[in-house]
Structure 1
Amino acid sequence: MATTPPRVIVTRPEREAVQWVAQLSARGLAATALPLIAIGPCSDPAARQGVAAAHARLAQAPGYRALMFVSSNAALYFLPGAPPLPAGTRAWAPGPGTARALVEMGVPPAAIDGPAADAPQFDSESLWQQVGAQVRAGDRVLIVRGRSAGVHESSEGSGRDWLARQVLAAGGQVDWAVAYERGAPRFTPDQGALARAAAQDGSLWLLSSSEAVAHLAEALPGQSFAAARALATHPRIAQTARAMGFGHVSECRPALEDVVASIESAP
């Protein structure tokens, strides 16, 4: 007798969560959005000035060799008001979701670089394998990122920081632009009830951010996750979920096909 796949709790920011719920539902899977990260414009005036300065430099020669967007939200919050990418300037995306957002914002697909389709992970390390040869001594690379509300740096910057070190080691220079802000969501009563139920009813939490895991712990203080199941899209996220107390954590690539296969084969 075939086993019915578990209900999936999609924890990405709202815009992405809605897209993932639609994609999973189209595959016949039960999925519910429960965003664990709230996204908005950056509230820091200095950060907004930094974005404006990056826009200005983008229009100048020699400008940037490449712009690395750490997420789809980096593209959505940085590109409005920016001049078109000059010929020869590349847009680097660590995964297909970011690449799609760049196309939606008008970046020509031919100007976008990302990890190989069969890369074991969609992250900075896999991206660098494809773009490292582009960087020459003196080249300038802009890394467009977000930040956690109320803090100077995010706790989840190891990937982008690693890539910045590779650029520097290749003789390049790195600029940073903070284009958006991440914060903890405020659960409605229904969302809080959903989260508490999903911690113990066999639902499968789809986790794509260590920061989101931390927000879940903050939103449900004292809640046991010993009976909860999670599917993490990166080893670092899986490690965070285990440390939080999730009873069963599995891992998969963040590509839709891999996520679907993992859900369908979940015990």
Structure 2
Amino acid sequence: MIAVAPSVWVTRPAREASRWVDALRRGGIAAQAFPLIEIAPAPDPAALAQCRAALAQFDAVMFVSAHAVQGLLPAPGLWPATGPRAWATGAGTAAALRAAGVPGDHIDVPGADAPQFDSEALWPLVSAQVAPGAQVLVVRGADAQGQTSGRPWLVEQLRQRGAAVTEVASYSRRAPALDTQQLARAGDAAAGWWLFSSSEAVANLVAAGPGTDRASWRALCTHPRIAQAARLAGFGEVAQVRPTVEAVLAFLQSQP
């Protein structure tokens, strides 16, 4: 148990936050989990099962996150032996694919030295695979209303190339119900950094309302879009870092 105020609040969903907290603590950082996104089951299990059964009919399947992988492929042995290509935007998603039994040579993912792990970094690696009529499945999350959510940028690129895109939600994302004790803990925010890996987490914190004056709060963000969301939310200090434990650890260790 850490006795001092945490120097970083990890806002990822609970399971991911726990892994990050453990890794940061091993590096000497006083880290605390404060999940601001809750993961729930897929809103339409029948549609998800239909896509799972039809995987062999697709030329490529794009997974937006490890949660997307785990929702579509809850156990090894579900991936067709002959393909399709599996697209991932980052190492965590690629690791989830391998754990689900997807062969490594089926996976396309930006290299560890990529400046960002997002659709823009993935597209140059996979665009040559996309010809008119290509069948691409995009596996993502749904919002609290059960509608698929997320940035449309990659889908737009695919459709401009003439690909037929199917989208399915393999899990749901929603704001957690924060209790009085959790909101009180958030009042200690000035003692450390909020680590954000999603603009949605920023919005959920603001909506929860633990204070309206965030001029003394500090946000450590893993993407320019998230950093912009934090600035718009009124965070007084906003820094950007690559979305790896090593980069976050190095940044926090450099702070006075």
Is 2:36–2:204's contact at 8 Å kept on the other side of the alignment? Answer: yes
Mark the CA change 1:230 to 1:128 in structure 2 (over 3 Å): closer, same or farther: same
- The farther-off stretch of 70-79 and 169-178 is 169-178
Please state if 1:185 is matched with 2:176.
yes
Aligned to 2:121: 126
Q: Structure 2: which 5+ residue stretches go unaligned?
A: 1-5
Aligned to 1:220: 209
Is 1:116–1:130's contact at 8 Å kept on the other side of the alignment? Answer: no
> What pairs up with 1:5-44 in 2 under 5 angstroms?
7-43=7-43
SS of the counterpart of 2:187? Answer: helix
Aligned to 1:145: 140
Is 1:115–1:129's contact at 8 Å kept on the other side of the alignment? Answer: no
SS of the counterpart of 1:92? Answer: strand
Matched positions, count: 251
Aligned to 2:3: none
In the superposition, the TM-score normalised over structure 1's length comes to: 0.88
User: 1:171 Cα shift?
Assistant: 2.6
Across the aligned residues of Structure 1 and Structure 2, the Cα RMSD in angstroms comes to 1.9
Is 1:38–1:182's contact at 8 Å kept on the other side of the alignment? Answer: yes
Aligned to 1:79: 73
Deviations 1:216-258 (A, max 9, x none): 0111254321100111001111111111110000111112222
Detail structure 1 runs of 4+ shifted over 4 Å in the superposition.
none
In the superposition, the TM-score normalised over structure 2's length comes to: 0.91
Mark the CA change 1:106 to 1:205 in structure 2 (over 3 Å): closer, same or farther: same
Please state if 1:210 is matched with 2:204.
no
Is 2:148–2:168's contact at 8 Å kept on the other side of the alignment? Answer: no
Q: Which amino acid aligns with 2:201?
A: A
Q: Which amino acid aligns with 2:22?
A: A
Aligned to 1:250: 239
Is 1:70–1:144's contact at 8 Å kept on the other side of the alignment? Answer: yes
User: 1:104 Cα shift?
Assistant: 1.9
Identity, in percent, stands at 50
Q: Which amino acid aligns with 2:64?
A: V
User: 1:153 Cα shift?
Assistant: 4.6
Q: Which residue of 148, 160, 172 maps to 1:169?
A: 160
- The farther-off stretch of 34-43 and 188-197 is 188-197
Is 2:59–2:135's contact at 8 Å kept on the other side of the alignment? Answer: yes
Q: Which amino acid aligns with 1:239?
A: Q
SS of the counterpart of 2:102? Answer: coil
> What pairs up with 1:26-105 in 2 under 5 angstroms?
26-43=26-43, 47-59=44-56, 63-80=57-74, 83-105=78-100
